[in-house]
Chain A
Amino acid sequence: MTAEATEKARIGAPSIAGFTEEGEQLVSSKVDHKHNDGTTVMASRAERLTSQNVADFKLPDGREEEWRFTPVRELVPLLTDGANDDDALRTVVEAPEGFQAAPLAIGQAPRATTLVPADRAAAVASANAPEALHVVVPAGAQPEEPVRVVLSGQGAGKRSNSHIVLEAGAGSKSVVIIEHEGSANHNGNVEIFVGEAAELTVVSVQLWEDDAIHLAQHDALVAKEGVYKHIAVTLGGKIVRLNSNVRFSGEQAEAELLGLYFADAGQHLEHRSFVDHNVPNCTSNVLYKGALQGAGAHTVWVGDCLIQKQAVGTDSYEKNQNLVLTDGCRADSVPNLEIETGLIAGAGHASSTGRFDDEHLFYLMARGIPEDVARRLVVRGFLNEIVQKIKVPALEERLTEAIESELTAGEN
């Protein structure tokens, strides 16, 4: 039996047991560590550099903590400061009358008040997206249909930078789907404001062609009693690296960061989440699930969760699960939990990587289930937990189909 389960935690990442109320030990853990491979471990996520200025970020060489899993050499074109290629990206917005506001220029509020780039890619995107798409869900609005933003890359290697600002007005309830398709070298920032008691679900779907590269930072600020859900669905693209970050501006707010990815041969799919509990009495839940299949399929999940000293009453959990379907795949999974106060309702993390192997297949087939059905059963069952949370039937159906076609592609 080769099924394995691994629990990894960052050095110094505390478990709740034995905590003092003030979280004193944690503060002392804020010293720099070195990884075995010579890269530097950041002392605290809170100390990560953020800046609007591209020049503040060095071109990474892959030894930096936040780049150590990423094939940075292939990213040089995207990390170089420069304008968009002509007609690199086409944008189509489907939204109810009046939801699309005038575009926001660089520095025009609310743009850049929540999203401050945390790496060079996001800084390049901010600096080179002169007009940000601005979608505003009016206060109290509850549109029946989701808002759809379709971004189509117009060709491999075409350089595209974009910035999108989404505002969900107080008490509104809506879903925004951002779909990525075609091919491009795309740096995409998405900045999200969830108003008081608003409910917003943002689904970012990556159905890129095989030669697309996509770097993204999605930052959300959730107001009092707001309910925010971000779902990253990444099936396509050569390299995708998506950072999904959230913080709060009021209490009793909830954030759920979810992800689903399926990496085939040669794909690098990286998801990073950062929940910054900077306000008391908020709840967060992070769940990313991924399947890997084929030589060189590589996935990364890094889940940072910081519970700041003032964030008493926090309840947070993060989990990553990977399912490895064939040999030659690699799933990196790193939960980082930093807790600066013991006065919390809960905090936890889990990470597991399981293998689907011939013994599993034998077991299912010995119960009469044909091989192709057995494989689909396993993957569909595994990923369904996320698909079901999207709650947009048409999209769920499309994604289920896309996942099945990933599977069939792997069989040939």
Chain B
Amino acid sequence: MSTLEIKDLHVSIETEQGEKEILKGVSLVIKTGETHAIMGPNGSGKSTLASTIAGHPRYTVTSGSITLDGEDVLEMSVDERARAGLFLAMQYPVEVPGVTMTNFLRTAKTAIDGEAPALRTWTKDVKAAMDQLRIDADFAQRNVNEGFSGGEKKRVEILQLELFKPKFAVLDETDSGLDVDALKVVSEGVNRAHATGNMGTLLITHYTRILRYIKPEFVHVFVDGKVVEQGGPELADRLEDEGYDRYVAGAGSAAEPAAV
């Protein structure tokens, strides 16, 4: 049983107009086996939270903490965080020229496990995982994300989730850009990973439609860099009906508008 704990996290970025605070005190605790959904309007800071957990250099933590089983995540480099068991399925997966998927997957797996995977079983595992996510076999020979469609990129993120077996997965709008069938296939992948009982999930989304397939125990409403309300799955249903207007209007009294 592992715990990922985010405490009063404040995060800023450098902009042309100077430093801008985006996360304004976020606290969350996620345990193995739990699924937490974070829902919030555009620009509320959801991706900022996800990228900060992964350690993207653009984001500066000005105060607060992130710990994994008590270990200070903020002290770790990006690759150390991944090896410690954190995984970020990105909203916009990056195309990496020159590196085939096969080569990439094997290198990453080796880095995460600290030893090379057994060649015979690995090749089989990769193929089986690709099959289940309906990823064509010839993707293995293509460069990482290069020329993949938006939906294909998302599937490949979940492929990695299944192969790397992280302790905590942060899924940043994995549902956006997916058609209904792909949404189902991808959700099944997440559920398979979850069913191992060794993973906690932080699911970032705008829409409730993915929650038909992936069932969160906790829903957090995120507005203007903060969690403004927490609840169970019923909160998601309410958001579906009412939208974020209520919260945004509330936040609108603050100096900065929350949505862009």
Contacts and interface: CB of A to CB of B under 8 A. Distances in A.
A373 B107 contact: yes
Contact of B54 (A366, A370, A377): A366
Interface string B50-82: 000011110000000000000000000111011
A379 interface: yes
A364 interface: yes
Contact of A354 (B56, B57, B97, B104): B97
A351 to B, nearest CB: 14
A362 interface: yes
Contacts of A381: 98-100, 103, 143
Contacts of B82: 365-369
A160 B82 CA distance: 54
Interface in B126-172: 143-144, 160, 164
A58 B82 CA distance: 60
Given A368-B164, A369-B108, A362 B78 contact: yes
B97 A3 contact: yes
Contacts of A368: 79, 82-83, 108, 111-112, 164
A88 B107 CA distance: 46
B248 to A, nearest CB: 29
A378 B79 contact: no
B94 A1 contact: yes
Interface string A333-376: 00000000000000000000011101110111111111101000
A317 interface: no
A373 B111 CA distance: 10
Contacts of A69: none
B93 interface: yes
B130 to A, nearest CB: 17
A354 B96 CA distance: 9
Interface string A196-224: 00000000000000000000000000000
A366 B157 CA distance: 12
Interface residues of B, number: 31
A238 B56 CA distance: 37
A379 B98 contact: yes
Nearest to B100: A381
A354 B94 CA distance: 13
Interface residues of B, dominant DSSP:
mixed
Contact of A366 (B88, B97, B107): B88
Among B98, B99, B103, B107, the most chain A Cβ lie within 10 Å of the Cβ of: B98
B90 interface: yes
Contacts, number: 86
Contacts of B92: 1
Among B81, B90, B96, B104, the most chain A Cβ lie within 10 Å of the Cβ of: B96
A377 B93 contact: no
B95 interface: yes
Contacts of A366: 54-55, 78-79, 81-82, 88, 90
A359 B94 CA distance: 7
A367 B86 CA distance: 9
Interface in B186-242: none
Among A323, A362, A370, the most chain B Cβ lie within 10 Å of the Cβ of: A362
Contacts of A367: 82, 104, 108, 111-112, 160, 164
A382 interface: yes
Contacts of A379: 98
A35 B54 CA distance: 48
Nearest to A370: B79
Given A362-B56, A365-B82, A377-B103, A370 B94 contact: no
B87 to A, nearest CB: 8
Among B83, B92, B95, B112, the most chain A Cβ lie within 10 Å of the Cβ of: B95
A3 B97 CA distance: 8
Contacts of A354: 97-98
Nearest to A361: B78
Contacts of A363: 90, 93-94, 96, 144
Among A1, A356, A359, A369, the most chain B Cβ lie within 10 Å of the Cβ of: A369
Given A362-B94, A364-B96, A365-B77, 9 more contacts: A363-B96, A364-B108, A365-B82, A367-B82, A367-B111, A367-B164, A368-B82, A373-B107, A379-B98
7 contacts: A1-B94, A354-B97, A356-B98, A363-B96, A377-B103, A378-B99, A381-B99
Interface of A: 1, 3, 323, 354-356, 358-360, 362-371, 373, 377-379, 381-382
Top 4 nearest A-B pairs (CB, nearest first) are A382-B98, A368-B82, A367-B108, A368-B111
